[in-house]
Chains A and B, each alone.
Chain A
Amino acid sequence: MRLSTPRLGFSRRPRPVPRARWSLAFLSLCACTAGIVDPDGKAPAPSGASNTVVDSRTVPVGTPAPAGRFARLTHTQWENSVRDLLRLSETPGLSQTFPSDARSAGYAFDNDQVALEVDQVLAGAYASAAEALAARVTGDAAQLARLLPPDTGNDQERARAFISVFGERAFRRPLETAELDAYAKLFELGKGAYEDASGFTAGVRMLIEAFLRSPFFLYRVESSTAASGATIPLSGYELAQRLSFLLTNSIPDDALLAAVRTGHLTSPSDVRREALRLLATPKAHDAVVGFHDQLFEFEKYENINPSPRTYPNLSKTFAESVLESSRLFIEDLVLGQSGTFQELMTSNQAFVNRDLAPVYGVSGNFGDEFVKVSLPENQRRGIFNQLGFLAANATSTNPDPIHRGVFIATRVLCIGIAAPPDGVPPLPPIQNGTNREIVANHTESSPVCKACHGTIINPLGFTFENYDAAGAYRTMDHGQPVDAHTAPSLDGEQRQVANSLELADALGQSRQAHECFSSHLVEYAFGRKRSPVDEPLVTALTDASLEGAPIVELMVRIVESPAFLTRSTEELP
């Protein structure tokens, strides 16, 4: 289903949220191995210490951090770029033949610009995919016609016109004369290079193959070196590709390239205008949903598998429906309704079908199609009280408050929690008791374990005890009333919450949570881990988010910031 385009700019002012008295970078929670992760992933400096490389208080908002000049396309970006470059109706799906990119430790997203590389296997897979795509496109006259300039009767001229126009779109910049000549030679060679094609079409086939293999297609190359003051302004073309890959996960569209050519992509207001335009296109869906998809680890939802013995009535397509429902929720809230982070934490709307409605306790006739409904306010609030998060963080038979708590701590509050030490002897099992009692007994009896579990993990995780392993609401556990009351630490203060509904409210108002979310947005936008240089920008986004800026507005604020419009004069090591 396609939802309405976002309404941007914001005037709503939700209930005022007091400005916290602390900075995320200086929070200290407990004496255990957990602590707020600073941008380098190291333990935080004590307040007043001066061991940070950059004093964020002196950095202007939006100062660029050193960055790579060759960010390889992610596999998703490759799919989308090929679709758009070749003007296909859908992505070709050939990246399934690519090796899976290695995980980038401590980074939530797939676009770590210095980690993505081209090894022998991927180089071979790129070559095979380029061959197949070139054959496919040139073997389809209607498809090829979408790419070719008019036939003037002169194949050489037509080929050069193709190279020029197609090349600009493939490289996200105009080709230099020497490049145009090199591809023209390749065109001539291509005429006789195929057994099953010849002449002009074969030449174009070889060109397409070669363009898809070029580093200027496979990497987002940034070549600008001329500094203006303390930064290096990006060229219009470089800016266009930054913008389009962030907001559409693909190459710039024709309108964006036209804006560059006509000098209408130079100022922050130009960038804002184009960003708003792109966010209103269907292509923004994948990029915006994709960010949340990775941040909230939706891929784990595919693995939801409650015990059939304990949950005999669950559909076999339960996990699949949970995943789709979660993506629809993000699409609707973030793009359809221009929702805020607070609404992400507190909205009681959800998409349900016949698989999910019974688990949510929603009555009515539902089929395979998803229908947007309002869930009971006294049972559901925000994305973490939906089935996906709850069922993905459960054993096959019981809720898993440890993983629920760890996720909220690490991904929503940006608290770094070290792995448990090896060799901690397990405690004897408890035959009777609630899930909470069993987990508390296992994790809070030892001072070593309690340091993290008792102060961070369990106070967050136990709030969700009203939801079983499938995510269904419950009030009783092992014959006893559920106790979901805890006192997690938020914004440096302990907060009493009765359950995860109140936790959702608290997260929606928490500066720590808004700052963590803003920090993730910045990481995703720049394709790297957070840098100390980012702090002013993160703070500005946090302030805006707390004041009710929609999530898409936060993305626009990023792209119009100097950090996005320029490069650092300092290169990576």
Chain B
Amino acid sequence: MKMNRRLVLQGIGGALLGLPFLESVRARPAWAQAAASPPFAIFFRQANGVAAEQDTNELGKEPERFWPTAPGPLTAETLADRALAELASYSDRLLVVGNVNMANFNYGDGHARGALQLLTARGPVEEGKGGDSEANGESLDHRIGRELNPNGNDSLFLYTGRTGGWLGGPCISYRGPGNRRSAITDPFDAYQSLTGGSTQSSDSMPSRRSLRQRSINDLVRSQLSGLLARPELSSTDRQRLDLHLSSLRDVEVSLACRIDEAQQRALEGAGDGLDDGDVVLATARLHMDVAALAVACGQTRSVAIQVGSGNDNSTRYRDPTTGSQMENYHFISHRRQSDGDSGNIIQGSDLLHHRIDVQFAQAFKHLLDKLAAYQLPTGSLLDAGMAIWVNDLGNGPAHGARNCPVIIAGSAGGVLRQGQYIRINGDSDESNHARVLNTIGSAAGLRKPDGNFIDDFGAPDKDRRVLDELLA
């Protein structure tokens, strides 16, 4: 008896009443009556660096194809011929942050150092473990959700691409030291996580289901509480059971988090080609649709979307100029047919890397379009929060920790500067990544007990002060 998703819908039962997607949300934005919409952060992660200006042993001098031509105001001219040109229509709502330097923690591998530090600003639990590394701290997406989400809702961690592979696939979101979060790989499952499993698009029959769920949850809670009361429990077991207990939700989902059946079918439309770049990015777009819905309906104030494993070495993106798939992305980033320094040189791979960057920029624009389409009394949803495109590395072959791209769209309700390309720390080489995360966290609404911006996120021995130069 194989059951497909449609059977799950039927099993849960009830008529599926359609409401136009945007209209339904626009009609009831969670914060429509609020004086100001709370800020949020949606992170979109790309691996393997970008096609920035560099000198590689494989191809020699590679021209700049990513960053704007000069710091200062973003204009059509400064973005021309760069991957960021795809975002030109949002140039007045962008904050392009340059010279973001990660710390040189000893992960024993550049991808581990980049991907695991990306949202944690922490070193490894154990040094030098390479692909077996784990980050030694909570990630920012989780902290934002933990501190700011309503009703104790977990933040969303979404993944597209083949799981497994380098660093095990999903690897950027952490609940705590060494405690990596599981990721949702299917957009429809992500949607269901917003609705507590309900796929009904109306409130016509929530009472009986809610009653059932509450009754069963009460029984499960009593069983978990009974187990937690046992004196022999280790803290390891206790921690896991506590998480389970706190994860039980009595289903009370507002209409704003529901979409109609046609839209649900669209979410189910993610393709099967886990290694096909077109499918991977199409799934990323569907994840973005869910992410936008999730922040619009007030379910969460942070989402992390990860594309590809630690080194995204299974995805083969398409070269739009030939229509054929490239070598896998990691090979392209290395400029060789190899995960290392051996293998034949891939001629023109710097340009291919740029074309991959362009496809990521186009995907990111999809997120911006979605957020901009939600209109609130104070402006669009995009203006209320932040969509943040980040990369683990500055460039490919060198696995550089310097100049890792951080592209922020949205001002978080006027907190951040807009329309600027800013190279932070006066171009110094010092590690400043933790400062960027503290700035983003503060813009998302995290505060110290005294009400000031946070300066406590990331490794304690790093400078964690908010970067004033990014503030409006």
List A residues at the B interface (Cβ < 8 Å).
33, 41, 66, 68-70, 72, 88-94, 96-103, 105-106, 114, 117-125, 127-129, 131-136, 143, 182-183, 186, 189-190, 193-196, 206, 209-210, 213-216, 221, 223, 225, 299-300, 303, 305, 395-398, 400, 402-403, 418-429, 438-439, 442-443, 571-573
Contacts and interface: CB of A to CB of B under 8 A. Distances in A.
Nearest to B195: A124
Contacts of B10: 135
Contact of B13 (A196, A398, A429): A196
Interface size class for chain B?
35 or more
Contacts of B262: none
A421 B108 CA distance: 6
Given A135-B13, A190-B212, A195-B13, A572 B189 contact: no
A97 B193 CA distance: 10
Contact of A119 (B237, B243, B398): B243
A215 B244 contact: yes
A419 B159 CA distance: 25
Contacts of B197: 124-125, 127-128, 131
Contact of A133 (B11, B181, B211, B213): B11
B216 interface: yes
Contacts of A429: 58, 344-345
B3 A92 contact: yes
Interface string B333-345: 0001111111111
Max count, chain B CB within 10 A of own CB: residue among A121, A193, A221, A403: A121
A395 B338 contact: yes
B236 A105 contact: no
A426 B275 contact: no
B177 interface: no
Given A92-B1, A105-B129, A442-B342, A303 B182 contact: no
A469 to B, nearest CB: 10
Interface string B1-35: 11111011011111000000000000000000000
Contacts of A215: 220, 223-224, 227, 241, 244
B240 A117 contact: yes
Interface of B: 1-5, 7-8, 10-14, 57-58, 107-110, 112-113, 126, 128-134, 153-154, 159, 162-164, 167-171, 175, 178, 180-186, 188-189, 192-193, 196-197, 205, 208, 211-213, 215-217, 219-220, 222-224, 227, 230, 232-237, 240-241, 243-244, 247-249, 275, 314, 316, 327, 331, 336-345, 397-399
Contact of A193 (B57, B133, B211, B232): B211
Contact of B192 (A124, A133, A134): A124
B208 A210 contact: no
A544 B213 CA distance: 52
A175 to B, nearest CB: 11
B108 to A, nearest CB: 4
B168 A103 contact: yes
B128 A418 contact: yes
B3 A132 contact: yes
Contacts of A421: 108
B237 A125 contact: no
Contacts of A209: 212, 216
A118 B244 contact: yes
Given A92-B3, A103-B168, A186-B216, 12 more contacts: A41-B126, A41-B132, A89-B1, A92-B2, A97-B8, A100-B163, A125-B192, A131-B12, A206-B215, A418-B128, A419-B109, A572-B235
B215 to A, nearest CB: 6
A439 B237 CA distance: 47
19 contacts: A90-B1, A114-B237, A118-B247, A120-B249, A123-B244, A127-B216, A128-B12, A132-B11, A136-B1, A193-B215, A194-B13, A215-B241, A305-B316, A395-B337, A400-B338, A418-B108, A420-B340, A442-B340, A443-B342
Contact of B189 (A99, A134, A183, A305): A99
B57 to A, nearest CB: 5
Nearest to B109: A419
A478 B133 CA distance: 38
Contacts of B188: 97
Contacts of A193: 208, 211-212, 215
**What are the 9 tightest A-B residue pairs by CB atom distance, in nearest-first order?**
A419-B130, A103-B168, A132-B11, A128-B197, A426-B341, A572-B234, A135-B11, A120-B154, A419-B109
A94 B188 CA distance: 13
A124 B128 contact: no
A114 B236 contact: yes
B133 A105 contact: yes
B153 A403 contact: no
Contacts of B1: 88-90, 92, 136, 143
A419 B235 CA distance: 32
Contacts of A423: 398-399
Nearest to B14: A195
A195 B205 contact: yes
Contacts of B4: 93
Contacts of A190: 212
B105 to A, nearest CB: 11
A352 to B, nearest CB: 25
A348 to B, nearest CB: 30
A195 B237 CA distance: 39
B208 to A, nearest CB: 6
A121 B193 contact: yes
Contacts of A124: 192-193, 196-197, 249
Contacts of A123: 244, 247-249
Contacts of B339: 403
Nearest to A116: B240
Nearest to B224: A215
A100 B169 contact: yes
B420 to A, nearest CB: 32
B236 A93 contact: no
Contact of B240 (A97, A114, A214, A303): A114
Contacts of A402: 340, 342
A120 B151 CA distance: 12
A102 B182 contact: yes
Max count, chain B CB within 10 A of own CB: residue among A101, A118, A124, A300: A124
A101 B168 CA distance: 10
B5 A97 contact: yes
Contacts of B181: 102, 119
A110 to B, nearest CB: 11
A48 B221 CA distance: 51
Given A117-B240, A573-B236, A136 B3 contact: yes
Contacts of A439: 342
Contacts of B217: 213
Given A120-B249, A210-B219, A419 B131 contact: yes
A99 B12 CA distance: 20
A102 B421 CA distance: 36
Nearest to B327: A396
B194 to A, nearest CB: 9
Given A68-B237, A132-B3, A206-B216, A195 B208 contact: yes
Given A100-B182, A103-B168, A442 B216 contact: no
A134 B1 CA distance: 13
A397 B337 contact: yes
A114 B238 CA distance: 11
B182 A101 contact: yes
Contacts of A102: 168, 170, 180-183
Nearest to B193: A121
B300 to A, nearest CB: 10
A402 B339 CA distance: 10
Contacts of B134: 105
A537 B70 CA distance: 65
A57 B185 CA distance: 46
A68 B227 CA distance: 13
Given A92-B2, A96-B186, A100-B182, A572 B237 contact: yes
B298 to A, nearest CB: 16
B236 A68 contact: yes
